[in-house]
Structure 1
Amino acid sequence: MPRKPRRRRQRPVSFSPFGRSMAFLYPTKKMKHQILDSVIKDKSARSTSDVEISANGVVKDGTFQNHGETSDSSDDGEFDGVVQADFSFFDPKPDDFNGVKVLLQTYMDDKLWDLSGFVDLILGQTTVGTVVKIEDDEDEGVYAFVTALNMGRYKDHKCMIELKEFLLKSCKEDSVSNLRSLLGEKAHDVGLLVSQRVVNLPPQLLPPLYDALFDEVSWATEDEPTEELQKSFCFKSYLMISKIYKHKNANKKMGKSGDREEDIIYSKPEDELFDQLSSWSFGFPLHTQQVTANELKDYRPMGLVMAVDASKVGIFRKQLHSLIDES
């Protein structure tokens, strides 16, 4: 069945900080504000934004400087570290396996689990899910992806069994009953929202990326070939696993509020919105992701699990657009 056409939208966007969290985490260079045109295309390349990217493939703020030598040498063939690139949205496909797997390496902290099987589930769901790559890139590197997997539909897969065990083991006592409910009798109504990306992906990509996901979920409830598949996307709740940095003295008074450091720094700006809209959430310590930045010496990395009612999606989408537009 043909997919519904995606509406075309054009508007000026600006490179700006991810917000306090990312500016604090990666303050090495001051962001250069630029106004660029964003064009959202249909289907195979569903969204593009002109951005600059460093030679080593790491997106850095709005300047995207090369991390290599800064010599003033003018030798022939020297690369100055800045290139123009178009980020585009694509449907998942098997060739994206390695790129998606790399982005998920620490998704479940240091646990050994069926990560390959989890990636297979993500890439096998082509009607709901998006990968972000550079258009016409021969290497087809994956810079971000987002999807929503039905917890009940895939409950018997090894990776999902291991994921549920990990969550229950990490869960705080006051959230165990809620979590068990979502992972058990309500699992067929729960979408596991998985969103991973490289550090400092241009923030103006976030609203269309999440719009694409939630639009596709809505379309799938009508467009999937069987009634069973259609119902599998009628989510009532979304479950998310993310990462935050929590201040070591977050539970203690630290003088005047205007002088105190933030209690929590979100590694992704949208997670703060999800957390505010969540029905419940809990944190747990991480073991593999150690803090190296001096600015975070008083913080410890924590996993964050959130449950968000599907009825809050519309509010989230509006808030995310406002956050990025105003930043």
Structure 2
Amino acid sequence: MASSKKKRADEKIIDEDEFDDEIDDDEEESGSEEEPMDQEVQLDFEARIPDDSDFNGIRTLLQQVFLKANVNLSELTDTIISQNYIGSVMKQPYNPELDDDDDEDLDSDDSVLALTTVVNITERQDVDCVKQLKTMLVEKCKQCSAAQSDKLSKLLTDPDHHVGYLINERFLNLPPSMAVPMFEALIKEMEKARQKKMKYNFSYYLMICKSFEMKAAHNVKQMFFSNSEEELFQEMSDLCFRYSVAHERDTGVEKWSSEDDMEPFRTVIVLSADKLATVLEKLKHEIAKT
């Protein structure tokens, strides 16, 4: 089993050229006058299948979304890891020339930078964390719109039209370009799973996105997404609502919304499954323009 996972992980390593980034090292204190002032550091990333060593790292990313919500994130993390054929975590590969830590630290959970995966919340309707997730979403939606709440409730309980909870999480300041190869890999993995008669033939995808409202000039408020590419999902959504989590910002993971003029929200998006490829193409186009 271990060898199978290793092979799978090797297959999922994404070309480093797609993630190369350069940062200035001007602020780093120099220990020698001979060291260059403008030193460029190349950052490499690799995507691989989630495994048990990623538990804390994945749970931390989920905590960014759910904050104090009554959802068992440990069980949800275990569910994600148990799908050893779907999903990717993004990590920085170990570099023996730069990292002098002991071998036992090579698979540190702190190196989990991003997660892209999908959980079939129709098929897994009896799992406690999925029950909690559905209950929370319907209650939050009901506070916004009774009509939308009825629609969402029917969608989440329809056994003939499966819904996938689509997770697109990463740490702040990591670029949206990282999402492209991870979504591409996920689409291919779901296709392979469907060919094997696994239940990844979704009618809809559901996303819970970190968003925030910022005060602009003349008291006009603007909505932004923490992961900017998720605005494209919203534009093509079949159902969308949001709810404030300002009262939960004391958890310590809402660092991006700590300023008084920024109110944190969660934007829930329901998207027809056949639109995912179109959204991905739009994302590629937007990234190409930057």
State TM-score, norm by structure 2: 0.79
Alignment CA distance shift 1:266-1:310 (3 Å): same
Is residue 123–residue 162 contact of structure 2 (8 Å, CA) maintained in 1? no
From the superposition, tell whether residues 175 and 160 of structure 1 become closer, same or farther in structure 2 (CA, over 3 Å): same
For 1:86 and 1:70, locate their aligned partners in 2 and report how far apart those are by CA, in whole Å.
20
Change (3 A) 1:193 1:155: same
Task: Report the CA distance shift for 1:295/1:163 in structure 2 as closer, same or farther (over 3 A).
Answer: closer
1:266 and 2:235 are equivalent in the alignment:
no
Match for 2:11: what amino acid?
K
Tell me the distance in 1 between the aligned counterparts of 2:63 and 2:80: 14
Aligned position for 2:62:
104
Letter in 2 for 1:312: K
Match of 2:209 in 1: 242
Count how many residue pairs are aligned between Structure 1 and Structure 2: 263
Quote the offset at 1:84 in angstroms.
3.1
Structure 1: distance between partners of 2:280 and 2:137: 27
1:206 alignment partner in structure 2: 179
In the TM superposition, residue 179 of structure 1 has moved relative to its aligned partner by 1.0
Asked if the contact 1:245/1:299 (under 8 Å) is kept, the reply is: yes
Structure 2 counterpart of 1:131: 89
CA distance in 2, matches of 1:233, 1:293: 34
Q: Distance in 1 between matches of 2:160 and 2:207?
A: 14
Are residues 1:282 and 2:249 paired? no
- Residues 65 and 81 of structure 1 are in contact (CA less than 8 Å); yes or no, is this contact kept in structure 2? yes
Listed as ranges, the matches of 1:80-159 within 5 Å are: 83-136=41-94, 138-140=106-108, 141-159=111-129
Q: Percent identity?
A: 29
Aligned pairs for 1:165-204 within 5 A = 165-171=135-141, 172-173=144-145, 174-186=147-159, 189-204=162-177
In structure 2, distance between residues paired with 1:265 and 1:198: 16
Q: CA deviation at 1:293?
A: 6.8
- 1:45 Cα shift? 1.6
Which residue of structure 2 lines up, in the alignment, with residue 216 of structure 1? 189
Distance 1:86 1:292, change over 3 A: closer
- Counterpart CA distance in 2 for 1:234 and 1:277 is 20
Q: How does 1:3-82 map to 2 (within 5 A)?
A: 43-49=11-17, 51=20, 63=23, 70-74=28-32
Whether 1:308 aligns to 2:271 is yes
Name the residue aligned to 2:102.
Answer: none
Q: What amino acid maps onto 2:195 in structure 1?
A: E
SS in 1 for 2:158: coil
**Contact conserved, 2:70 with 2:132, CA < 8 A, in 1?**
no
2:130 aligned with 1:160, yes or no? yes
CA distances 1:236-283 after superposition (whole Å, capped 9, x unpaired): 10001012112458xxxx77xxxx866211111221000000001001
- TM-score norm. by structure 1 comes to 0.71
Q: Secondary structure at the match of 2:181?
A: helix
- Maintained 8 Å contact 1:190/1:235: yes
Across the aligned residues of Structure 1 and Structure 2, the Cα RMSD in angstroms comes to 3.3
Secondary structure at the residue paired with 1:200?
coil
Unaligned runs of 5+ in 1: 7-40, 53-61
TM-aligned CA distance change 1:314 to 1:272, over 3 Å: same
Partner of residue 281, structure 2: 318
SS at match of 1:289: helix
Is the contact made by 2:176 and 2:229 (CA closer than 8 Å) also made in structure 1? no
Q: Which protein is richer in helix relative to its size?
A: 2
Asked if 2 retains the 8 angstrom alpha-carbon contact of 1:150 and 1:187, the reply is: no
8 Å contact from structure 1 (residues 266, 272) kept in 2: yes
Does the 8 Å CA contact 1:148/1:192 hold for their aligned counterparts?
yes
CA distance in 2, matches of 1:84, 1:90: 20
For residues 73-109 of structure 1, the C-alpha deviation after alignment (integer angstroms, 9 at most, x for no partner) is 53999xx997433201101111111111111113223
SS in 2 for 1:161: helix
* Aligned-partner Cα distance in 1 for 2:25–2:261: 28
